[in-house]
Amino acid sequence: MPHPDTKRFIFLTGSEAQERQLLECPDHKYGTEEDGLRELERRLANMKENELAFAQLCVSCQLQSVTTYAPILEVIGINPFVATSNNEPTEDTLVWPDYDHLSINRVRDICKRATGTVMWARIPLSIDEAQFMIKRAPSDAEVEWMVYASIGAGFKGIVWVGEAGPSKRIRSLQTAIERHADELGNAWQVDWGSSLDGCPISMIRSEQHLFVVLLSTAYFADIKKGKPLVFPMSPESVTARVSIAPPRPFALVSGKTLSETVLTLESKGESVVTACSFKGGGEMLVFRLVKKPGGKE
């Protein structure tokens, strides 16, 4: 039976994650990779009932660590933003399709190696792990960007990293996402539409809703190694137009933003077009999904 924490979207503080993990950074705290594997297998063999097979991976050797440990764990915690990649998106990817971005390319590389294992994104709130990325503590908008980028990539949880807790703005984002925790924890990625104006877009669906995740291109636009990012203090509002064509027998009957703003849906043949404006790192649109009477998947 899957652990309950793998069936819902979850938020944890760093200390809560440490309390739940079987071990942390197995490649480095226990010697060689072989030593780490032996220690992990020992702990897996001695797990208590209802204990979660969960380990957090450090910022180095991430791809190899995911390849090694994902197949034998229920959950891995990882900061997917500490490195970059030049691997462009393939035509068949559902992880931020068509978005060739150095940080998102790296997220995609990690997802490919996770082999279906649940992943929780370690998101820095202070300079701790952010020093590998931007040499300073991230702004609220950058934290939003990382959260939305993770959800759009199929991550099922967030671990807040750093001594300082989330700001009021980020706590509000967490509360809004938690309203959909059960569905997001069981959602899967689909390719049901596109952005009409180039806004990065990724789609995931549950049985009852389609979630459309959008990213601002104002953040993480320049991620050269060793160069602190200069972020816009007051970027202009982003307006995104989205076209969605759910396959038969499904239909969208209503939509709203994560903050409960109702969206206007316009029918365009087999597609539905809507628009929204947002400031900050990104946005998520939530559409109610229904199956037309007599329809079959």
Residue 296 confidence (pLDDT) above 90: no
CA distance 259 to 8: 20
The predicted model gives 120-124 an average pLDDT of: 95
Token pair recorded at residue 192 = 């049901």
Residue 135 confidence (pLDDT) above 80: no
Residue 153 confidence (pLDDT) above 60: yes
Residue 252 confidence (pLDDT) above 90: yes
Query: What does the pLDDT read at residue 227?
Result: 55
- pLDDT tens digit string along 185-200? 999 999 999 999 999 9
CATH classification of 4-185, choosing from 3.30.310, 3.20.20, 2.60.120, 1.10.3470?
3.20.20
Residue 283 has φ and ψ, to the nearest 5°, of -155, 160
- CATH 2.60.40.1180 is right for the domain spanning 193-291: yes
Domain with CATH 3.20.20 in the chain: 4-185
Query: What does the pLDDT read at residue 286?
Result: 98
The predicted model gives 281-296 an average pLDDT of: 87
pLDDT band for 181, please (50, 70, 90 cuts).
very high
The predicted model gives 107-128 an average pLDDT of: 92
Contact criterion met (CB below 8 Å) for 233 and 283: no
Query: What does the pLDDT read at residue 132?
Result: 63
- 10 Å CB burial of residue 164 (0-12, 13-18, 19+) is exposed
In the chain, what percentage of residues exceed pLDDT 90?
Answer: 67
Residue type, 56: Q
As a whole number, the mean pLDDT across the chain is 89
- pLDDT tens digit string along 26-44? 777 777 778 888 888 899 9
pLDDT band for 278, please (50, 70, 90 cuts).
very high
Query: What does the pLDDT read at residue 222?
Result: 64
The predicted model gives 170-184 an average pLDDT of: 97
The predicted model gives 53-67 an average pLDDT of: 90
Residue 229 confidence (pLDDT) above 90: no
Global pTM value: 0.93
Name the β-bridge partners of 194.
Answer: 243
Query: What does the pLDDT read at residue 9?
Result: 98
Query: What does the pLDDT read at residue 295?
Result: 55
Query: What does the pLDDT read at residue 224?
Result: 56
CA distance 106 to 114: 13
Query: What does the pLDDT read at residue 116?
Result: 85
The predicted model gives 248-263 an average pLDDT of: 95
CA distance 12 to 156: 12
The predicted model gives 99-112 an average pLDDT of: 94
Residue 163 confidence (pLDDT) above 90: no
